[in-house]
Structure 1
C-alpha cells in the first residue's frame, strides 16, 4: 500500500536535480580515477624512464651539452629503444603499450568484482584484446574492457554459485574465467579496440583544435570548479592522463598533464588568505600553502573557496593563465605529475619545457593572488566559517580529509577534562540522534572506552552536564546555548561522518591528558549500568537512549508488514515523507497531522542519515500526537534525490516512548554493513525486510 503523495510544490527540486547530477558525475569520475590512481607509480616509473633514456632525454642532453660527448650510449640506447639499441625495442614503448593499460584493466576488473582477483584477471584478458586491436595506447579501452570483464564475470559466477558439485570448483572456475576471458578478448580486438582508437583520435583532434586556436585556457572555466567538487582526480586521471599520454608518445610531452595538476592557482589563493584573510583562515593559510605546493595535496585549499565561493573566479583566472603560458612556450610534461607537487612537476618536465613550466606555475599563482586579494578586500566583510567549510569539503569527498587538521587546528575541539558522557542531540530526540548515537556508540566501544556513555536527547531537554555534545551543524548553536561547558562537535552525515573518528580520538586524548588516578566525571555512568533504553515520555519531550548494539527488540511489533513498501512511488523528498508518514497513519499509530509535523521537522534539519538512508519523523512538539510507537519502511529501487543525496531507503519514525530506539540501533548496524544493505535491496517480501531489521 502507499500513502497519497504530498501535493505541496517541491520548492527545491531544481537544486536537488543539480545535486543529483553532481553526485552521479562524481561517482563516474571516482570510478575512472580509481582505476588509474592505484597504478600511478607505474606511470611515474614510465615517465622517469622516458625522461632519462630516450634520445632527447636527460642523460643524452647532459652528455652532449655539458660534457660534449657524442659517442654511443650503449645501455641508454637499449633501454630507450633508439640508435644502436633500436632493434632491441627498449622498455619505453612496451610499458606504455602493454603494462600500463593492462594494470588499469586489471584494477578495473578487480574493482567491479568486489576486489576479487578473479575479476582482475578477466579484466586484464579483455583489455589485451583491445590493446592488440588498436594502434594507440589503450588507456580508455582498458577503462571500458577491464570493468566489463570484472562485472560480467561476477554476474556469470552468480549463475552457478552453490550449484557446483564438491571437487569440481577449481575446474569450473578456471575454465569459465578462461572461456569468458577469451570471448571478451576477441570482442575487445574486433570492436572495442577500433572504437576506442577512433574516439581517442577524435578527442585528440578536439585538443589540437583548442591548441591551434588558443582556446585551451577556456577549459579552466570547467576544470577549476570541478576540482572543488572533488572531480579533480576524475578529470586529471580519468581524462587528461589517457589523452596526454597518447600525445606524449608522439610529441614527447603534453600540455594536458598541467591543466589540472598545476599547483600555482592553489598557492596564489592561499597566499592571498595569508596576507588579506582574517581569523583562522589567515592563520592556517601559510601551513596549507606548504602542504599544497610542496606536498601536492590540492584539496587543502578547497575549503577556502567553499567558505567564500566568489574566490572561484580567482582560481579560474590563475588556471587560465597557467594554460596560456604553456601554450605560448609550447611546454608540457612527459608524464602525469602525481601528486600535483612542484617537485613532481619539475621532475616530469623535459629540459626544453622547464622555462615555460616554471613560468606557468609562477604566473598562475601571481594572477590568482591578485584576483583573490581584490575579492577578499572588496567583498562583504562576513565572518566566514573555515571549520564548517572544511566539513562540507569532507562530506563532498565522502571521507575524512587527511589534511583537515591543518585547517581546523589539528582536531575537532580541545577537551579540558576526561570525556565520560557524550550526548547526541537533535530537534526531537526521536530518530536522527538515535541513529547517530548508535553509530558513535559502536565506535567508542570498539576503541575500548566501555565506561563512556553515548545517549541521544532532544535539544530542548539538554542540561549542562555532558562532557561532549554532537549535533547536526545547523543545530550546534542552539545546543551550545544549553550546554556551554561541553565540547561541541558538528556533523552532517549521521551514518558515516568523518567527525566520529575525531570524537573517538578526542576521548583518547582527554584520557591520556588526565592523571591516571583521576576518577571519571560525576556525570559519567558506566555504560554497562545503563538501562537498555531510557527516554522520558512525550510530556517532557526528552529523549535519551543508551540502547545496546546487540539484542535489539524484534522489529515485527513496531514495523508491521502493512507498513513495508518495496516499490515506493515517490519521486521527491516531500513525496517520500508523505509516503512514509501515510503508512504510519494507515497503521493507526499517528493521525494525519503528524505527517505535517514530519514535513515541518524536515524544514529545520535534514533527516538524511547517509548511506542511502533517510528517517523522517515529527517534531518534538508532535510527540503528543503519537498513539503508539511505530516505524514504516519504503524502498525506492530507482532511487530518489534527498537534498542532493542519493536515497534508496526511507524509514518513517513515530516514537512515543523508547521501544523504537533499539530497532533504530539495529537499523544503524544494518546500514553500516554493505552485505546487510544488499539483503534489504534484494528482499522480495515484507517479511524478509522484517527479518533483516530484527536479527540480533
Structure 2
C-alpha cells in the first residue's frame, strides 16, 4: 500500500510539474491579451474596433499555440515544440471553441511521438542525410497528427461544451442556482464562459429584467469573487513565477474584468477547480439569499462594471456575494497550495524527514533502513557516471554530489559525479543514479535502465563510503576526508564560482530571463557574482565558472567547457529554483 501511495504521489507531482511548465512561461502573453481585451473591445475602457480585432486571433491561435510549443519543447526540445504547434493547429481548426485543453493534450503527445521516432531511427541515418531526414520526419508526422487532431479532438470538446451548457440550463430551470456553478466554473476554465454567459444566462436574465427589473442570472458567470480568491491564494501561498505574477493578474481580473487571466493558474494545479467551484457556489448562495441582481449584463466582468449595472438597492448584496466567493475560494485554494509538496518545498520537506529519521535511528543504535529498495551497487567497470538526482536538481543533490566527488577523487577513480533534476535524467544502463528514497520511484520511471540507489540523507558520509566500497568489490580503502573539511563549505558547492553564464543557441530570451532572476536572487543574498548570457561559441573553459543550460544544450555545453561547473535545468523561467541555487553560493 505504501509503495502504491508513493507511486501515486510521484505521478501527481510529475503531472503538476508538466502542467506548470506548459502554462507559466506564457503568462506574459495571457496578460498582454487581457490588457488588449479590457481596453479595446466594444464594452471595454477605450473601445477601438480596429485594435479589438487582435482579441479573437490571439485567444484562438496565439495562446493555445504558445502552450503547445512549451509542452512540446519540454518533451523533445525545439523539434518537439515545432511538431507540437503543427499538430495542435489541427485541433484548433477542428473546434469552435478556444483549444487550450486540446493544446495541452496534443502538444506533449506529438512531441513524444517524434522523440520515439528519433530514438528508433536516429542512429540509422546515413551521414550527410541528417537534416533531410529530420525535416521530413517532423513534417510528415506533424501532418498526420494535425489531421488526427482535426477529426478526433474537436468533436470531443464540442460534445463537452454541449453537455456543460445543457447542465447549466437544467439547473437554472429547476431553481437550484448555487448548483449551477458546479458546471459554470469548470466551463469558464475551459474557455466556454462566453458560450454559457451570452448563450444561456443573458437571454434568460433579459427576460427576468423585463418582469422584475433585475436578474441574478447576470451574476452567475460574471462574479469575479472565485477568480480573485484563487489569485490571492497564489499571491500568498504560491511558488515561483505563479506567485510573482499573481498581483498583476489580480488587477487585470478584478478591475479590468478579464476573468480569463486566472484560468492558467487553475489549469496548472487541477485541484484548484475545487476552489473556484466552492467560491462560485457559496457566492451565488449569498447573492440569492440577499436578493441581489443586475439590471443588465456586465461586460467585461469587472467589479466596476458590475457595480455600475447593479439594480437599485442591491449594491450591498452584490458586494457581499462577491466577497463571499473570494473568501471561500481563497481558503480552499490556500489549503490546496499549502498541502502541495512539489518542487523545492517537497525537497526541503524530504530533507527534514530524512534528518529526523536518521537522528532517531542513531539514538537507538540502529542502522537507517531505506523504505525504497535499492538496486545492487554495480562494480566499477559497469558504470561510466554517477548522477545525484532531486526534484529541482540543485540544493540537496548538489551537496551530495560534492561530497561523493571528493571521495571518488580521493579513491583515485575517474568517474564523473554530477547532479541533475529527475526530469532531466536520460535512460542509460551505465549510469548510477542516487536519490533520496522519496524520489526513487520517479527516478526509476525516468531512467528505468539505470542503476538506482536510495539514501536517507544526502549528507551521509558513511553511506557513500559503503557505496564506493561496493563498487570496488568491497575491498577498497576509501580515503577519509581531510580533517579540515567544513560542512559549510560542502553545503556551498559553488562557493568558489565567480561567474555564472546562461548558455544559449537560439533561445536568447529564455536565457536572459533566467540570468535576470538569478541576478536578483544573488543580490538579495548580498553576493557579488557576475551573471551573464553567452552563445555556445563564446563559452569559456574555466574552473571558476558555472554554466547553466537547458537539457537540449546540456551535453554540448559540457563537451565544450569540461573544466567548468555545469547545471542543467528543465526550464529557465521558474523563479523558485534560483532561490535554492543562490544558497549554494553562500
TM, length-normalised to structure 1? 0.40
Structure having the higher helix fraction is: 2
Q: Which has the larger radius of gyration?
A: 1
